[in-house]
Copies of this chain bind each other. A is one copy, B any other.
């Protein structure tokens, strides 16, 4: 009985000296093959520096297969077995792979791989030499025999599990795939080093969010995803309903036969014909069966056409819906969160928000995660400081919590990423400029042709924001006191009657990732603002209640969690930093 506990690869190769202290230790490890090569035994025996020369006594094809195991697949795909050359190749392929396999395996615990040394005498190498193969192996850590990046390797003496891969069908068989190529396989993508790194960063960041707020005496509250309140009338939101379930019309039938029934019958009949043909039955029987199949196919076609013609229609009567009223997916949990802030003092959440986005698809998803925080007895200044502290704390957590992943990603994708993170962390508070100052600064710009003219009152567009952070200040900046028209009705009106107490933190490359607002706590004021923007007061009755009874000044902010991950990883498309991205016409799985 084996009582050895599996070691995470991180615990072996994650240390500074690459795991040298483990030499001589017996370990049990599991993981997926990331890359591999096979050397003939003789070569290994005389190998001094890992030069990849094929030994003289191996036939050419065999040597090639050992060197480039993917060739096996190519041969299979091309189906060369039919001609003499192909037959020879296939014969080689079927042959047992002799030699020593060097497998680099990873178990997701860190960005680094562990090198495995596996002898063909111990296990058939052709079953493990494919990218994506899972293995559970036991052996002794040795100093690496070959020069290179690996300081240690595991000499396997027990193979406990192999989960094979068919390299022709496995979509990640190629070793360097583009982000686009990975994206179409959401259920496999975390097996790539890149996406795994992003996911570890997300995880560390999630924990850092909770740590920051809990240590600053905020209480975590979950806010409902299903809501009957819509924070802004012009925002579209997804409907949640059970009304559509009632649309199941009666199945189309012809003489009591349904489409599904006939399709099953067709399968059965096809199988029967094949059997008849195989068993050398008389031609007549085959002919009759084929005629029968033809008739079934015609009937199926007829039924299909009928089904297509029928429109499924459902009556929209929300009083008959599950909640007895119109319900949506929450676009913004902020309003609900205020009610809990006005009781618990300081609250935060990390949860999903939903919107059927149609624009800026590289930065927005239908389903995104956000951090919301709200504090009472707090004004704009307080929220700005808290948001800045939070941003710095989160950025720092990544640099200390997963430095290898950040390093890997910045080397591979965006080498300026680390600099941008350092700009957040650098000494001193972030520059704070009022909206008015920002507009004035942008109006003075002569060397950049903005698509939209800069005028006081406009919503600062992506290009304006980018110019402020990337060009003018060259670091993240806070812009505050926006015109009331560009911010939500619940933003607190300043004494100038023109601007509201709201701010954005604008990050280089990605733009606005943090939005903050001091909420309007004066009842008469918020009522008039609701009318001003054309909303119905009745809909916000419960929200106004918070101002009617024991109202307090309160302010908070929202961090777009997914966009923050974009900033920290340097990725340009939000779909690459989210496990199962949901965008228009794209909700696979």
Interface residues of A (CB under 8 A from B): 6, 8, 10, 30-33, 107-109, 132-134, 136, 161, 163-166, 169-170, 186-191, 195-196, 199-200, 202-203, 206-207, 210, 214, 217, 219-229, 236, 238-245, 247, 311-317, 322-325, 327, 329, 336, 339-340, 342-346, 351-352, 354, 356, 366-367, 369, 376-377, 521, 542-543, 545-546, 548-553, 578-580, 582, 584-589
Contacts and interface: CB of A to CB of B under 8 A. Distances in A.
A166 B398 CA distance: 49
Given A108-B343, A239-B240, A243-B244, A207 B220 contact: yes
Contacts of A133: 550
Given A200-B219, A202-B220, A322-B584, 7 more contacts: A30-B552, A108-B219, A187-B336, A224-B587, A238-B242, A239-B245, A323-B584
A318 to B, nearest CB: 9
Contact of A580 (B223, B317, B553): B223
A188 B191 CA distance: 46
A345 B244 contact: no
Contact of A582 (B195, B226, B369): B226
A472 B191 CA distance: 46
Contacts of A132: 549-550
Contacts of A584: 322-324
Contacts of A340: 190, 199, 579
A308 B325 CA distance: 16
A427 to B, nearest CB: 23
Given A136-B377, A199-B340, A580-B224, A324 B240 contact: no
A525 to B, nearest CB: 14
A311 B315 contact: yes
Contact of A163 (B221, B247, B551): B551
A572 B189 CA distance: 43
Contacts of A314: 313-314, 316
Contact of A377 (B6, B202, B228, B342): B6
A586 B346 CA distance: 27
B377 A30 contact: yes
Nearest to A521: B163
Residue among A352, A354, A550 having the largest count of chain B Cβ atoms under 10 Å: A550
A241 B243 CA distance: 11
Nearest to A229: B589
A328 to B, nearest CB: 10
Per assembly, the copies of the chain total 2
Nearest to A314: B316
Contacts of A217: 8, 10, 109
A578 to B, nearest CB: 8
Contacts of A188: 339, 343, 545, 549
Contacts of A165: 549-550
Contacts of A586: 323-324
A586 B133 CA distance: 50
A312 B322 contact: no
Contacts of A551: 134, 163
Nearest to A218: B203
A133 B108 CA distance: 53
A196 B343 contact: yes
A229 B552 CA distance: 45
Residue among A169, A236, A552 having the largest count of chain B Cβ atoms under 10 Å: A552
A316 B219 contact: no
A249 to B, nearest CB: 9
30 contacts: A30-B376, A108-B219, A136-B552, A161-B377, A163-B552, A164-B550, A165-B549, A166-B548, A187-B336, A187-B545, A191-B342, A203-B221, A222-B352, A222-B578, A223-B580, A224-B579, A225-B329, A225-B354, A229-B589, A236-B245, A240-B329, A241-B241, A243-B244, A311-B315, A312-B315, A322-B585, A323-B582, A323-B585, A336-B589, A542-B588
A242 B245 contact: no
Contact of A345 (B8, B542, B588): B8
Nearest to A201: B219
A438 B551 CA distance: 56
Nearest to A335: B589
A553 B239 CA distance: 39
A170 to B, nearest CB: 5
Contact of A585 (B225, B324, B369): B324
Residue among A195, A224, A312, A586 having the largest count of chain B Cβ atoms under 10 Å: A224
A182 to B, nearest CB: 12
B587 A344 contact: no
A313 B311 contact: no
Contacts of A542: 186-187, 588-589
B549 A343 contact: no
Closest 9 CB pairs of A and B: A190-B343, A108-B344, A163-B551, A108-B345, A187-B339, A134-B550, A312-B316, A203-B219, A323-B587
Nearest to A552: B134
Contacts of A356: 242, 322
